[in-house]
Each structure stands twice: as C-alpha cells, then as structure tokens.
C-alpha cells in the first residue's frame, strides 16, 4: 500500500493516540500471570500487542476465549468525538479486557510454536516470563524479527538457570523453564526489553535480581511491579527485585503512547500547526524526544493530570513556530529517544543545518536497519542523509519530494509520511500498511487533523 502526500496542509486539533505499546505488552503479561481478576482498558489493537495477546492465549486455555475475542476485534477507526479526534486511546475505545487468571503456575505447555509476529518486545519479554515455566516453548517471528539479536536475552536467562537455545543468536528461541535464582547483570546495550525479561524471570526466582544499565531505559516494568506490591528498588540506573513474588489482580487504563504522539507532534512542527494530545502517557523515560523537538524550536507544554499503576498521564500541547534549528543528539541521550530517532530525523531533514544522532548503531537491530532505511528514505525524497560510523547525519535544508521506500518498517513509513508533509513537491511512501504494527489508523488520523494524505494502491 502506497500513500500519496500533498504538502501544504496544516496539522491541527485535539486528539488521542493509541494506547502505549510498551505498557500494553507488560500489563498483558503480568495480567495473564496474576493471581486474581484483572481489567485492562485502552489496550491498543496494534499488531504487536495482538501478537502478545495471541501468545498468552496459547499458553492459557482458561484465558483464551477472552484474549482471542479481544485480539480479533477490529481497531478503532479514528473519528471525531466532539472537538477531539479519537486516534485510538480513551474516549471511544474503552471496551475492557477482563481476565480471571490463577497465577503464573497456571500457564500450560502450548500445543504449537508461539508466533511473535514482528514484535521484538513480545519475544524478549515472553522469554523472561517463560524462563521458570515447567515446560518447553518455542518462540518464532516473521523474517524481520528472525534477523534481530536474541542472545542478549538468552544469556542472562541461562545465567538464572533456564535452558534457552537460539538459532545462531536468533529466533526461533527454545525455552525450557527451570527453578531460577537471582543474578546481578549488566547488559552490554541499554535495553528495556532485556531488563524486563530479567525482571520477569526474577519474579519467579529465588533471591535477589539486579540489573544495572549505563543509562536508564523505559521503566514501565519497575513502575508496575512496585504498584503490584513487589519488592523492587531503583537506585540511579540500578534496579533490584526480591523474588519469588506472586502478584494479585489489578485494574488499569493504558495511557496514550508517547512514541505515537511523536508523529503528530512532528507533523505539527513541520506544518506550522498545533495540537493538544490528551490522555497521554508522560513517563519521563519516554518523553526525551520532546526536549529534542524543543531544541529544534517547537513549542512544547506538558501537564501531568493523573497517575495509574505508577504511570503519569496528562496532556501535551505542541506548536510549530516556523523555521527549525538543527538539534544534535549525543550518545547518552540516544537510548532515551531510541524509538523516536526516525521521526526526529524526518523533522531534522527540514532544519536549517546539519543534525547528528551519535551512537545510533543500535538502530541497525530494529524492525529494519533503521540507519540504512532512513538514509534511503530521506534521499528518495531529495534530502541529504548519511551514516558516519555509528552516527546518523541529516543534512537539513528541506526535501524536494519524490517516491520513498520505507523498508516495510512502521516507524520508517510514518516518519517519511511526516517528512513529506513539508516537502516542496508531492511525495509517495511505500508499504504504509506497516503502520498498523504500532499505530492503526495513523493515515486517517493525520487526514482528520488536516493533512492531505491518501492511500493510492
Ligand atoms: C521497548 C524497548 C526498546 C524499544 C522498543 C520497545 C520495550 O527496545 O525500541 O520499541 O517495550 O521495552 P530495546 O529494549 O531493544 O532498546
């Protein structure tokens, strides 16, 4: 599916965005292994989150009907609800998922391999969840996921006592759970997925589990575990959990995904529009991209209005104010904007100077090689981009227009569509159906907010 973008429209209005994908994976996994009833609202029906729900359904006959019914219902089509565009969270999309789980001991051996689809978070987190399960399970994924590194999660889980085999460091991943013991681990690459896999295993392990990172990655797991009464302590970049611990049931509403909001904020920045995004997750480990947009000259205001299961929720106002400055990102800031680099690069392509993203090598191991995909896509649209060692270098100065390849990667496709909104001529972006991996309804929402975007085949 290709999208055609005619630049010139101004993106403006109040909106919601789909529920947070990272939070949804974690809340679903901890709900399915709780000992007591759970109710989750605002779960996004993006493909990645459906993958997690389907895997959990395969692991729990008792929860299967509810999970399958949830996973098979269609995503929200963005529509206006009073003065707010409903882009997927809160307002209209409130039908809850109710589960009556009986603790992690009630998971059972799946009758076939677990299909994680395109979702690295599903695969790595499930590996941790299953590390203590008394059966063997095999995790598979699509071609893109099969290319991604899995040894980083297999190694610490083995150290805790699980039997984990990879295929030369990649999926399929075979896990035979065992009695686990806590470990101290320092991941080579800062990764919230690796940290979470270890903490999920640590919940079932005897003793203390400690993960120390170079920089603090997203901390949704720590916040939820603390809200559920686990003994979890955070000191700087070190997280410690005492196991074993069986949590009870819980209720919560998944806040809007800041990484999805980034695309709307970027569209506003590039078209001189303004937006207010409500019901948004404002966890500080997820909002560093706002600092980068501010440095570029975008007006940003954030207001925390509440808190649920440890997660701050509120609203974001963003306004584009004309020309954009280049705003480089250093090695220590890069892991904090890991998912927003594609969008920030798209905005940087219109800044009046060169932007460097330093220490961005980890982007090679995402749903595509995002360094290559961004350079290709930005050049396809007539821009200036290059890779310099582990740095991504975006030349700035604007885009002429043209036909761009998106490597079938959701964040690349959406970033190029946003970049195209301010090009000097018409643009097309291919494989835009990939946006359903994290942001179903993205094109419809942009159109609702005033962009001239359509699917052309
Ligand atoms: C995620 C962590 C990040 C991020 C991914 C979601 C998570 O991956 O890129 O989209 O939910 O924990 P890494 O942990 O591999 O950096």
Residue 317: CB atoms within 10 A of its CB come to 17
Q: Which two tokens stand for residue 69?
A: 């019914």
Instruction: Please tell me the distance between residue 272's alpha carbon and the centre of ligand 1 in angstroms.
Output: 31
Query: pLDDT tens, 193-227?
Result: 999 999 999 999 999 999 999 999 999 999 999 99
Closest atom of ligand 1 to CA, residue 194: 14
The answer to whether residues 285 and 271 touch, using CB atoms and an 8 Å cutoff, is: no
Closest atom of ligand 1 to CA, residue 125: 12
pLDDT at position 373: 98
Cis preceding-peptide flag for 450 (omega within 30 of 0): no
Ligand 1 mutation target, pool 25, 30, 121, 254, most atoms within 8 A of CB: 121
79-83, 269-273, 401-405, range with the lowest pLDDT: 79-83
Instruction: Please tell me the distance between residue 438's alpha carbon and the centre of ligand 1 in angstroms.
Output: 13
Q: Higher confidence at residue 96 or residue 171?
A: 171
pLDDT at position 94: 57
The pLDDT of residue 261 is above 60: yes
Nearest 10 degrees: Cα torsion 29, 92, 437, 139: 20
| Rounded to 5°, angle at Cα 446 from 440 and 447 | 110
Atom 11 of ligand 1, nearest CA residue: 22
Catalytic residues: 339
pLDDT at position 85: 85
Atom 10 of ligand 1, nearest CA residue: 339
pLDDT at position 92: 46
Distance CA 111, CA 127 (A): 17
The pLDDT of residue 34 is above 80: yes
Instruction: Read off the pLDDT band of 3 (50, 70, 90).
Output: very high
Atom 13 of ligand 1, nearest CA residue: 191
Query: pLDDT tens, 107-163?
Result: 999 999 999 999 999 999 999 999 999 999 999 999 999 999 999 999 999 999 999
Q: pLDDT averaged over the chain?
A: 96
Instruction: Please tell me the distance between residue 219's alpha carbon and the centre of ligand 1 in angstroms.
Output: 11
Query: pLDDT tens, 7-33?
Result: 999 999 999 999 999 999 999 999 999
Among residues 103, 171, 158, 104, which one has the least CA distance to residue 133?
104
Q: Higher confidence at residue 222 or residue 45?
A: 222
pLDDT at position 89: 62
| Residue in the structure block whose two tokens are 């919560």 | 252
Closest atom of ligand 1 to CA, residue 26: 11
Q: Which two tokens stand for residue 448?
A: 């609702």
Contacts of 155 (CB under 8 A, 6+ apart): none
pLDDT at position 447: 96
Output the ligand 1 site: residues, CB below 6 A.
22, 121, 191-193, 196, 218, 338-339
């Amino acid at each position: 599916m290709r999208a055609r973008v005619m630049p010139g429209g101004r993106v403006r209005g109040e909106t919601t965005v789909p529920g947070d994908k990272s939070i949804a994976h974690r809340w679903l996994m901890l709900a399915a292994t709780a000992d007591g009833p759970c109710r989750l609202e605002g779960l996004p029906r993006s493909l990645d989150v459906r993958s997690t729900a389907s895997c959990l359904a395969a692991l729990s006959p008792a929860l299967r009907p509810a999970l399958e019914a949830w996973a098979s219902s269609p995503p929200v089509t963005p529509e206006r609800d009073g003065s707010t565009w409903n882009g997927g969270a809160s307002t209209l999309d409130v039908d809850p998922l109710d589960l009556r789980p009986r603790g992690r001991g009630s998971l059972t051996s799946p009758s076939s391999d677990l299909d994680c689809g395109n979702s690295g978070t599903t695969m790595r987190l499930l590996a941790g969840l299953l590390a203590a399960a008394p059966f063997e399970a095999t995790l598979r994924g699509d071609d893109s996921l099969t290319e991604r590194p899995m040894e980083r999660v297999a190694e610490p889980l083995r150290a805790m006592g699980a039997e984990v085999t990879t295929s030369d460091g990649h999926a399929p991943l075979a896990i035979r759970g065992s009695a686990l013991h806590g470990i101290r681990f320092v991941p080579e690459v800062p990764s919230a997925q690796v940290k979470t896999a270890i903490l999920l295993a640590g919940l079932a392990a005897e003793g203390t589990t400690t993960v120390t990172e170079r920089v603090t990655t997203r901390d949704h797991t720590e916040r939820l575990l603390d809200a559920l009464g686990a003994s979890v302590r955070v000191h700087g970049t070190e997280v410690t959990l005492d196991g074993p611990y069986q949590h009870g049931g819980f209720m919560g509403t998944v806040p809007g995904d800041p990484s999805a909001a980034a695309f709307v904020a970027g569209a506003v920045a590039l078209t001189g529009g303004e937006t207010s995004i409500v019901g948004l997750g404002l966890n500080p480990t997820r909002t560093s991209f706002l600092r980068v947009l501010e440095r570029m000259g975008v007006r940003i205001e954030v207001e925390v209005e509440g808190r649920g299961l440890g997660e701050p929720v509120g609203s974001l106002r963003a306004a584009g104010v004309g020309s954009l400055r280049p705003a480089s990102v250093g090695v220590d800031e890069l892991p904090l904007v890991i998912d927003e680099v594609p969008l920030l690069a798209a905005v940087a392509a219109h800044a009046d100077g060169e932007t460097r993203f330093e220490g961005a090598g980890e982007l090679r191991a995402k749903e595509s090689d995002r360094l290559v995909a961004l350079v290709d896509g930005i050049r396809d649209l007539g821009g200036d981009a290059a890779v310099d060692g582990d740095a991504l270098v975006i030349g700035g100065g604007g885009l002429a227009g043209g036909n761009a390849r998106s490597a079938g990667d959701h964040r690349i496709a959406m970033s190029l569509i946003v970049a195209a909104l301010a090009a000097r001529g018409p643009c097309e972006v291919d494989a835009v159906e990939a946006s359903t991996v994290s942001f179903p309804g993205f094109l419809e929402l942009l159109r609702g907010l005033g962009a001239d975007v359509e699917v052309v085949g």
